[in-house]
C-alpha cells in the first residue's frame, strides 16, 4: 500500500466507512446470538458470520494505518441504529433477528460495492479481491438461514 504517513483522504474515508460498518455488524451479531441460543445450527453459522466481520474489521484497520490514516474506533450512527433494530427484533424472536441480520448484510454488500470507486488501486484490490467476497458469503449464508428457518 502506501508508506506510513502518506495520505489519500478519499481512500481513508471510504475504508473508515467500511470499518464502521464492520464494527456495527459485530455489534449486531453480539445482540443476535443470545436470541438464537439453543439452536446449534443458527448459533454456529452466526458465530461464523460474526468472526468474518471481526476479521474484516481487523483487515480494514491495517489498511487504514498503512494508508497513513487513523482507524475509526466505534461504529458511529449506523452502529446505534443497527444495535437498536437488532435489539428490537430480538423481542419478536429469532426469525425476526435473522431478517434483521439479512437486511444488515444487504446493506454491507451495497457499502462495499459503493466504496470501490472511491478507493485507490491497492485498497480497491483488497476490497474487491478479499473483503467483498467475504461480505457476499456472509450475506448468502444469512439469506440461506432465512430460507431454512421460514420453512
Which tens digit of pLDDT belongs to each residue from 86-120? 565 555 678 888 988 999 999 999 999 999 999 99
> Is the Cα torsion angle 136, 137, 142, 146 positive or negative in sign?
positive
Cα separation of 82 and 124, whole Å?
A: 26
Domains parsed from the chain with CATH numbers: 9-149 (1.20.1260.10)
Mean pLDDT in residue range 29-50: 92
Nearest Cα residue to 68 out of 131, 12, 10: 12
Joined grid coordinates for residue 80: 446505534
- Across the chain, mean pLDDT equals 87
Percent of the chain at pLDDT > 70 equals 83
* Contact (CB, 8 A) for 106 and 54: no
- Tell me the pTM: 0.87
Amino acid at each position: 500500500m502506501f508508506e506510513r504517513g502518506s495520505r489519500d483522504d478519499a481512500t481513508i474515508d471510504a475504508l473508515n466507512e467500511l470499518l464502521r460498518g464492520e464494527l456495527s455488524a459485530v455489534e449486531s451479531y453480539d445482540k443476535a446470538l443470545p436470541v438464537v441460543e439453543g439452536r446449534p445450527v443458527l448459533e454456529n453459522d452466526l458465530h461464523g458470520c460474526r468472526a468474518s466481520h471481526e476479521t474484516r474489521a481487523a483487515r480494514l484497520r491495517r489498511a487504514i494505518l498503512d494508508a497513513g490514516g487513523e482507524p475509526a474506533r466505534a461504529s458511529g450512527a449506523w452502529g446505534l441504529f443497527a444495535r437498536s433494530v437488532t435489539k428490537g427484533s430480538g423481542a419478536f424472536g429469532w426469525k425476526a433477528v435473522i431478517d434483521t441480520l439479512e437486511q444488515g448484510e444487504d446493506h454491507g454488500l451495497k457499502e462495499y460495492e459503493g466504496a470501490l470507486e472511491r478507493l485507490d488501486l491497492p485498497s480497491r484490490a483488497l476490497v474487491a479481491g478479499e473483503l467483498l467476497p467475504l461480505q457476499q458469503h456472509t450475506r448468502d449464508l444469512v439469506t440461506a438461514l432465512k430460507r431454512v428457518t421460514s420453512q
